[in-house]
Structure 1
């Protein structure tokens, strides 16, 4: 199985819910086979005329349609494909009109004769299609699988009964709800597993089939969510007073109990433009929405209905919106940082894109940054008095740390630059150690300052390689996390410059015996870093909102 043709019949093309299923299925295929040739056709972009029933493709020009449109190439792709993935959402209990138009235009593949095949009368085909595999992937808005019956029967007729497997997803609209990503990620995992199995055995295992038949969420939850999102004149008129409450009800459906272990808190939401407050009670791995404000909230989010709706739908990035002053926080900022995990838009560190590692490892986080300074400590102490201890030993320690981490851990920018710097320093020492014995300490200070400062300009802020392990989720793209670490990294770079300048002054004025006092600055900087990394994000969260937030 090498040539794979995807026939996407959705008017949304690659942006639709059906396409999301196809993408995950293809991911599974690719994991088991690297030599696949995949052609992904978005039918709505193609020029396909409707069949007129003239039968010229049978009588006047056998196998050739009267229309000179895109179907000529599409039929060629269809005939030559080893696997055809029929991807169409369910539109009024059947395939989409563009998919139907495509199937009608495949008539030239058949001959006009009527023959009996397997107790059924049909038309013989012009090409050998017996080895072709077909898979149906579809989504439906209703919560029951029987709605696919017409579509299944229709595709079986079109393919001569050769539909190998199907992925038929009820409640399909939930696939595009960002807040539910974590809650329904198990289903997309099952779709990927189906791809792995099909490329290996041309079928799905029973366990996978059973998973694919399960509801994405309980039917009662789905019906409530679906009805809340349908905007009719009557609903807009009668539910205006419950607008904020209904938005939070949708948010509540994205709650992930397993991600709320040990949390006992009250989260209050105030919509300033609606003059409405409601609150969630999160306790014992459950979440209950209550009307009205709380008298004892753990954390409170103050914003407008429009802003929070955009954040909930994924149209606005939550942290960036906070940076822009579109909402502010009162109370427990740590609880706010966990909302993406508790309410399902993030998988958390346990399923992170980063490698699965023990967060308490000495080779990660702030402990690892401390270890990365060991070569510098040796060099600062010995570089002007002992060539081996001040130059070559730091290089060996740097190389050893990289070697230890290389197999199981991420090697940070700082660790790479340490190895490069001490390698260069070792080469310099072989030609002019006298230079290093005179200015080695100052050189080290300015070098480490450059390494830290340049990381902000050309890489990721150096401190972020370590501080990201202090949080429950990936924060590499979080604007608050980025800004905090940029400030801290530049602060450390300036401190190292200051130490270098101070060392020059102490040397020139004969006060070198006081140089150990410079190390006190590092202790102060460490304390400041710990304080700033916690307080600065809270300062942003509690900052003043833009005036439009409070306008009604």
Structure 2
């Protein structure tokens, strides 16, 4: 059994350009030898401490590091491996800091003494030497191969001598879909390298020569690379006319590729950062699994929120309660404040499936800023604070109207004076403890007018008051659409201002307000059209519609927003 250990030091891990070459090389090995065992380690995901230079692994606990981390297993794999592949992009003319950290931590494999070998003094191995084969696979963004020279020399010293080095210039082109045909020959040659190495112990000169060919000519590559950055306040060097057409054809795909890589890095930063900003005080009584799926990156993360705790996980949850599907750039723009979350949802830029209630509290749940998380609309601080806001709309604010409707055709005084006094009391209470609504003001004006009317003509009042009442309340509600829909005042309490000031919140309340205007119009029509000798039918229609409307109002916001969020318009 041939054991192969791959140490991938790219910060991008599986998504890096270097891994494309590693995969191709391993395919070649697998086609030439079946009796193999491959272990690939993506070092950026492992828990590896930096070497402290304490030399405990030499003096106090020979062969054993003071750190109990993932390096212990790597050392065992390293000792047992027949072939060791170092995979790293070129960072500042050397290996990445991730891989260098692993190299530093190989110190326990040597003894502290100095012995002389052919090329000078070195430290002898602690364990019986195995005839390891050492291979370097690397990519870089430069067009010339000499940039790898220092790193190759470094690995020659580390390994005694590298058995093979596969280095790829113009490496950023490997992931551009439009250039797959151009890169295919190179990737096939890397696969041939794997086959030759496992079959004959070395890579032929002719195959090495194939790896020295450029994907595109140097001038074109440099122009493409320079134009792709778009750094604020800076201009790329000018492009010769002879390359301009080719650049224009390929630069869009190249920029898209670079942007996606940047988004991958940003998303990892933002999503992991969300867990650290979790606010337990805002998550009382919340039990939810919130999954975020980035449609363009193919990545998934989820948060398990329960008992005022938030656990972060990579991948998909087995039973998410809420799923957000979004392009990465949309989420980045929302996180950076360039885009309002509710507006983006309303515009169909992302979708939400499952329980939508947690979305209304996202800005509070994931926020370290206590003041911001408590930046909610004013709530009732008076002696009626036990009454839910929606009950104010359906019961308290309508008390004057209930009295008016049931007494207007029998007692003009009671149906006008009592509603006026109650409206004044409601106005005073809301001004002191909550906030005044256009409904409160409209009620006072309406019942004041009705009081004057019944003073001068009680007979016509008794005959037409109910009909005028339906028209009046409809007018009050309809006029509120000019500024703030009436239902907004009663539905916004408990939500952050970022939610209630959004276009989505306003649209929901506009629909509800218009709906109630139509209800009052129906009442008016019923009172006018239905004959007086059918009083029971008239009352059933006039008041029955209120019960139906109340049930609709209770269900509509959640149903409407959930449908909008799911993208099923």
* TM value normalised by structure 1: 0.52
Q: 1:476 to 1:262 in 2, by over 3 A?
A: closer
Paired with 1:298 and 1:541, the residues of 2 have a C-alpha distance of: 14
Conservation of the 8 A alpha-carbon contact between 2:263 and 2:328: no
Conservation of the 8 A alpha-carbon contact between 2:378 and 2:493: no
Aligned length: 312
Q: Which residue of 2 aligns with 1:294?
A: 317
Mapping of residues 197-208 of structure 1, within 5 Å: none
- Superimposed CA distance per residue, residues 214-257 of structure 1 (whole angstroms, 9 cap, x where no aligned partner): xxxxxxxxxxxxxxxx99x9x99998765533331233333223
Structure 1 unaligned spans of 5+: 1-229, 546-552
Conservation of the 8 A alpha-carbon contact between 2:364 and 2:373: no
Mapping of residues 457-476 of structure 1, within 5 Å: 458-469=482-493, 471=495, 475-476=499-500
**TM-superposed deviation, 1:408:** 2.2
Q: Which residue of 2 aligns with 1:405?
A: 430
The Cα RMSD (Å) is: 3.0
Mapping of residues 426-437 of structure 1, within 5 Å: 426-437=451-462
Q: Does 1:425 align with 2:475?
A: no
Q: 1:358 to 1:323 in 2, by over 3 A?
A: farther
Q: Does 1:244 align with 2:267?
A: yes
Q: Which residue of 1 aligns with 2:276?
A: 253
Of 281, 284, 289, 1:266 maps to: 289
Of 466, 470, 473, 1:441 maps to: 466
Conservation of the 8 A alpha-carbon contact between 1:244 and 1:276: no
Paired with 1:239 and 1:409, the residues of 2 have a C-alpha distance of: 47
Question: Which moves more between the two structures, 518-527 or 286-295?
Answer: 286-295
Conservation of the 8 A alpha-carbon contact between 2:321 and 2:354: yes
Of 511, 527, 541, 1:487 maps to: 511
**TM-superposed deviation, 1:277:** 1.2
Conservation of the 8 A alpha-carbon contact between 1:359 and 1:365: no
* TM value normalised by structure 2: 0.51
Of 479, 491, 504, 2:528 maps to: 504
Q: Does 1:328 align with 2:369?
A: no
Conservation of the 8 A alpha-carbon contact between 1:303 and 1:328: yes
Paired with 1:318 and 1:388, the residues of 2 have a C-alpha distance of: 51
Conservation of the 8 A alpha-carbon contact between 1:346 and 1:473: no
Conservation of the 8 A alpha-carbon contact between 1:362 and 1:368: no
**TM-superposed deviation, 1:339:** 1.0
Paired with 2:375 and 2:261, the residues of 1 have a C-alpha distance of: 42
SS in 2 for 1:314: coil
Question: Which moves more between the two structures, 357-366 or 307-316?
Answer: 357-366
SS in 2 for 1:252: helix
SS in 1 for 2:353: strand
Q: Which residue of 2 aligns with 1:538?
A: 562
Q: Which residue of 2 aligns with 1:39?
A: none
Q: 1:237 to 1:324 in 2, by over 3 A?
A: closer
Q: 1:482 to 1:237 in 2, by over 3 A?
A: closer
Q: 1:368 to 1:362 in 2, by over 3 A?
A: farther
Conservation of the 8 A alpha-carbon contact between 1:255 and 1:342: yes
Q: 1:484 to 1:358 in 2, by over 3 A?
A: farther
**TM-superposed deviation, 1:503:** 0.6
- Superimposed CA distance per residue, residues 456-483 of structure 1 (whole angstroms, 9 cap, x where no aligned partner): 1x22111111111264666431222211
Paired with 1:290 and 1:237, the residues of 2 have a C-alpha distance of: 22
- Superimposed CA distance per residue, residues 267-300 of structure 1 (whole angstroms, 9 cap, x where no aligned partner): 1111111111122232343333222121221211
Of structures 1 and 2, the larger Rg is shown by: 2
- Superimposed CA distance per residue, residues 421-443 of structure 1 (whole angstroms, 9 cap, x where no aligned partner): 10011112222222212211111
Conservation of the 8 A alpha-carbon contact between 1:263 and 1:282: yes
Q: 1:480 to 1:497 in 2, by over 3 A?
A: same
Conservation of the 8 A alpha-carbon contact between 1:503 and 1:512: no
Structure 2 unaligned spans of 5+: 1-230, 233-254
SS in 2 for 1:267: strand
SS in 1 for 2:446: helix
Q: Select the structure with the greater relative contact order (CA < 8 A; seq sep ≥ 6).
A: 1
Q: Which residue of 2 aligns with 1:516?
A: 539
